Structure 1
Amino acid sequence: MKIGYARISRPDKQDLSMQIQALEKEGCGKIYQDTGSAKNTARPQLQDMLRYAREGDEILVWRLDRLSRSLTDLISLTDDLGARGISLRSLTEPVYQTSGPMGRVVLQIMAVLAEFERATIIERTKAGLRAAKERGVHVGRPKLLSDEQATHIIQELNAGRMSLNEAAGLFGVSRSTITRLRRNLSNGAT
């Protein structure tokens, strides 16, 4: 039996329909669908699919990264499937099919390249963030309070003319934001 597995990371920006159509076209009798990061192998539908699959079944995915982004997890998963007599096939990476020894070699090469690509993207992102910080660009969520507002709040709190609740209400932020602001300013951070 052909079993399909489709996954997206972000339902607000991605759609499963393309993967599902491709899996249906390949004749998948059952398609499992997950939403979430591929870093976590405890995805509910993935676990259900792995319990459902039987010897002689073939699991199909749109791409290998729909199944896992970690080389270790991917190899572990394919080893488990192979030991159970279940093959794995990627629709967009046709050279990949685990039914033979060459398939395992190709899997490992592709997984290493995917992991390298992910690590490279992470490094480039970190370098870009460091460079932006060095140029004085604020990185992260936008500040809720201007520097002037922060100074005013701290002065009023220190003078006892305003409570944490009053400051939070006046500026439309949470009490924890005011507490964090006070702690950061007392530590010399802005």
Structure 2
Amino acid sequence: MKTPVFAFCTRSAQRTHAVVLLALAASVASGGVAAAIVGGFRINLTPSEPLGLWRIVALDRPAARGDLVFICPPLTAAIREGRARGYLRVGSCPGAIAPLIKTIIAVAGQHVEIGAHVTIDGRPIPFSDLTERDGAGRPMTPFPGGVVPAGSVFVYSAFRSSYDSRYFGPLPASGIVGLAQQVLTYAP
């Protein structure tokens, strides 16, 4: 059985530790949040990727299949609908949408087929089955498929209810903010 860290501290020391932890939490809750955003840190509160603290890392090369990225979607009809339905959080991208954390599974020139699941150049993508209705019972309209256009990427999350390119199609690679790096996360 583990002994709690504070078990060996005096009551005075325990109070001091509690005050320091409370002050740290307060600073994070106020100015710390702004500093974290400016410093390239983001908090993910959606289940598409592990919950918690993430860091945006500069991408100094062309985006590639397999990259886990932060990306800002353009304000298309599908993105507006996703925002109206509550699929997308408020954030710093155009239209006040938070950057999405998604994996690039296809790049320009690759052929995407959408059926019961996704295939890229004839290769099935694991865990890519589509959802016919969202949690509120509203119908989900899948992207019809096709060739990923030049300068675009097709993004995805293995979380079944993720709102990703299966529904809104390829996104401009110019919207990539950077690579997504886990800092302190929790996957339930």
TM-score computed with the length of structure 2 as normaliser: 0.28
TM-score (norm 1): 0.27
Q: Which structure carries more strand by proportion?
A: 2
Report 1 or 2 for greater relative contact order, CA contacts < 8 Å, sequence distance ≥ 6.
Answer: 2
Q: When you count helix as a share of all residues, which structure comes out higher? A: 1
